[in-house]
Amino acid sequence: MVEQKLVEDIVREVIKSMYQESAAAPAAAPAPAPGLSPERDYPLAAKRPELVKTPSGKPLTAITLEKVLNSEIGPDDVRITPQTLRMQAEIAEGVGRTQFAQNLRRAAELTAIPDNRILEIYNALRPYRSTKQELLDIAGEMETKYNARINASFVREAAEVYERRNRLKAE
């Protein structure tokens, strides 16, 4: 029964810390719909369709076969927005999936980066592809050009680790 109590303690602590974290979270960009709940709001497409927009601001209901055929809807409309990704991150946090939520928040930043550049950055992060400076430059570009701050620090961290583990391109 000792274990049972231990588990209860852990659960309590986690719940407590979750409240503290959300209270202490910095007020960044205003959340489109604060406090999304997995039970009430998920799936968004079915339960909160009014919150989901295409990158050009069209509602989800505007994506119809008719509009595709007369080219009112193009490939750029069937893309996810950073706002939607952040809403899904909230849903993920609501079911305790911290790391997954963090991935969705990194993804929200990456929506701003074009497809080809995404592929190039991925290749640059592979082992022995980049010097430390090249990785730091990518981080700088992510931050200044695309406002991708979480990703920038992720790439900076990679540069440090690759240096310590000798996985950088030989200069």
Please, which residue, 29 or 118, has the CB nearer to another protein? 118
Is 72 near another protein (CB under 8 A)?
no
Is 151 near another protein (CB under 8 A)?
yes
Give the shortest CB-140-to-another protein separation in angstroms: 16
For the chain, give the secondary structure using H, E and C: CHHHHHHHHHHHHHHHHHHHHHHHCCCCCCCCCCCCCHHHHCCHHHHCHHHCECCCCCEHHHCCHHHHHCCCCCHHHCCCCHHHHHHHHHHHHHCCCHHHHHHHHHHHHHCCCCHHHHHHHHHHHCCCCCCHHHHHHHHHHHHHHHCCHHHHHHHHHHHHHHHHCCCCCCC
Is 36 near another protein (CB under 8 A)?
no
Is 163 near another protein (CB under 8 A)?
no
Please, which residue, 118 or 144, has the CB nearer to another protein? 118
Please, which residue, 10 or 144, has the CB nearer to another protein? 10
CA distance 123 to 81: 24
CA distance 137 to 152: 10
User: Which of 35, 68, 72, 144 is the binder for another protein (CB under 8 A)?
Assistant: 68
Is 79 near another protein (CB under 8 A)?
yes
Is 171 near another protein (CB under 8 A)?
no
Is 132 near another protein (CB under 8 A)?
no
Query: Count residues contacting another protein (CB under 8 A)?
Result: 72
Convert residues 44-63 into a mask of x (bound to another protein by CB under 8 A) and - (unbound): xxx-----x-x-----x--x
Residues 89 to 118 in contact with another protein, rule: CB under 8 A: 91-92, 95-104, 106-111, 113, 115, 118
